[in-house]
Amino acid sequence: MDTIRHLLPARPVTLVIALALLVVLLLDWRHVSIETPAAHVEAGTSGISGWGIVAAISLVALLLAGLRKARPTTLLILALTAAAFVVVAFFTGSATVEAGGISVDTSTREWPAWAGLTLAATLVVSAVGAAVPPEPAAALVPRKGTGGS
């Protein structure tokens, strides 16, 4: 874990993931279309609609806190909050379209919803990595007589 920590510092990785998740929230998570003899109507809802707005606000707060060098536990709390509301938005949203007295509602998820869910999980893992203190260097060096080569 410590080797990975030196290759990819957790704070910048957490901020990049948070920014990517914020961008994904702007995309259509659900899409519906209806075709009638008179018209073709399409509608979509982004991840920010509904509970996703709380996730977006948490992500903006996380980005600002990260840029201001806030404590890692603050980043972890904001990441957990954002991820929780991404999960709620993932399972509760829908898209509705009306045309000529016909109404169609769908909760079918598009690829950005799945990407958002994956990024939310990755964000939490990264924030935990930033919040957990690294092991002391002495604990990484094998002691004599313990079977190390």
Q: Does residue 28 sit within a domain?
A: yes
Q: Does residue 147 sit within a domain?
A: no
Please provide the average confidence, as pLDDT, over all residues in the chain.
Answer: 79
pTM strictly above 0.85 = no
Q: Does residue 90 sit within a domain?
A: yes
**pLDDT, average across residues 23-43:** 79
**pLDDT, average across residues 108-119:** 87
DSSP state of 101: T
Residue 1: what pLDDT?
Answer: 47
Q: Does residue 103 sit within a domain?
A: yes
Asked if residue 93 lies in contact with residue 49, where contact means CB atoms within 8 angstroms, the answer is yes
Q: Does residue 143 sit within a domain?
A: no
Structural domain for 99, as ranges: 2-130
**pLDDT, average across residues 117-121:** 93
Count the helices and strands in the chain (H runs, E runs): 6, 4
| Residue with more model confidence, 9 or 85 | 85
Strand segments (E) across 14-94: 28-35, 40-46
Asked if residue 22 lies in contact with residue 63, where contact means CB atoms within 8 angstroms, the answer is yes
For residue 4, name the pLDDT band (cuts at 50, 70, 90).
Answer: very low
pLDDT tens-digit series, residues 60-105: 999 998 888 878 888 899 999 999 999 998 888 776 666 666 666 6
Q: Does residue 104 sit within a domain?
A: yes
**pLDDT, average across residues 118-125:** 92
Residue 6 in this model has a pLDDT that exceeds 60: no
Q: Does residue 141 sit within a domain?
A: no
Provide the domain count of the chain: 1
Q: Does residue 29 sit within a domain?
A: yes
